[in-house]
Amino acid sequence: MSSPAESDTPSIEAGHVRLILLQDEHSSFHLDIPLEIIESLCLKPLKYLLFLGWCILGVEGVLAYEPNGDGIDTDGNLAEHEIYYFVAPDDAGLACAVDLEVIRGRTHDPSETTGTRDDFCQNLMERDPYCVWTGISKSYSSGMHIIPHRRGSEWLQLIVGNRPKYGENVTTLRDINDIRNGFFAMDMIHRCFDPRSLAILKTPNHILETTDVPPRHHEPNMPSTIRYPSRDRYTLQWLIIPEPGVASMVPNNMDAAFKTSSRKPKPSALLLHYTYGAAAVKQWGHGTDLLKNLTNPPRPSKPVPPLMGSSKTVHDRNIAITKRGRPRRSRGGRGRKATAGDGEASWDEDDVMLFCWGNSPAAKERHRKKVEETTHRMETWREGVSHGSA
């Protein structure tokens, strides 16, 4: 059956399938994913598509053949050129989405971290004395943040606050340098993870079991002082086709192993799901203009401050946003960065993820409670002022 999204968006490239996450009458926000990649990452490819929808939109749903269709059996196989829809409940949509700038403004916590990168690495090494995937020593490895360090603690707090926790205790996860936001990793892995050519799949999760992932790559040189978790997998996966030399150094589907005697907390599943979704959006995403069109409230023009020299910091998003929209390709990969048309202020994959998670039912309920609390405090203050002046 033809739909507006099928007829008005580009045709599917050979060897790909399309997952439509959101659509309107004229466009769609979707992923075009190489079949070869999906089959290398998951033994249940339809469940993998469902997992991607859950990761990116931050809500539960079903996989369907038609918009608003009934859920299909996710134990089947994919076929080239097929189109699938992630269908969420009616009350979980983005029809009344909150603007991205409003989401960013929901927290006023300081962006400074309580530790340093050196502290981060030292704390990590109490849990990860070697690269967790290869066993390579610290001479060739370093601390790797899941949520990039440049985003800062405020961004991390927004992510944590806007996502259902599924039993994970993240009450104290507020610092960008918390070891739950990192791994100790070989330098090559670090260089490929930062541009999101690599992602880390944490299983079991709400959609996938550990057995849905291909068996882990056997690494013969792992030190005897570390071991693989008995119930969980932290699987390193390529979302692109890497160069042969790189693939020989970092094979697909390597599992992380941790220090046997350490009682330090493992990396956060919530943060890993966020970054997996962000990596998928970067490599395979298209049509982010649809997200921007969902919320475009009129704003007063911002006054231009007098020139006082450079004031840019790692947390200044305003400058970065205007520079986005330049297509970036991962070397050796087939994926394409999510685009937002020819507009000057395109979004990157982190903007997309923050927007989607910030508009989930859990996030909207959290925001509603904050508004009510603020309103109650203001009313109490006004009553006190009124009685004092009487």
Render each residue's pLDDT in the chain as its tens digit; 390 residues: 334 434 456 789 999 999 999 988 889 999 999 999 999 999 999 999 999 999 998 889 999 999 989 999 999 888 888 999 999 887 665 654 555 665 555 444 433 444 577 889 999 999 999 999 999 999 999 999 999 998 889 889 988 988 888 999 999 999 999 999 999 999 999 999 999 999 999 999 999 999 999 999 988 889 999 999 999 999 999 999 999 999 999 999 999 999 999 999 999 999 999 999 999 999 999 998 888 777 654 444 444 444 444 444 434 434 333 333 344 444 444 444 454 443 345 788 888 888 887 776 665 565 566 556 666 566 666 666 666 665
DSSP H helical ranges for 72-230? 100-104, 117-125, 152-161, 187-193
Q: Cα 378 from chain centroid?
A: 36
Torsion, Cα of 23, 28, 30, 33 (10° steps): 130
pTM (predicted TM-score): 0.78
Other CB atoms within a 10 A radius of the CB of residue 310 amount to 6
Three-class SS of residue 64? strand
Could you tell me how many residues make up the chain? 390
pLDDT for residue 79: 81
**Long-range contacts for 5-9 (Cβ within 8 Å, ≥24 apart)?**
5/30, 5/67, 6/83, 9/286, 9/287
Task: Give the residue among 279, 207, 193, 270 at the shortest CA–CA distance from 236.
Answer: 193
Taking the alpha carbons at both ends of the chain, their separation in whole angstroms is 70
Per-residue model confidence (pLDDT) at position 142: 94
Q: What is the pLDDT of residue 387?
A: 63
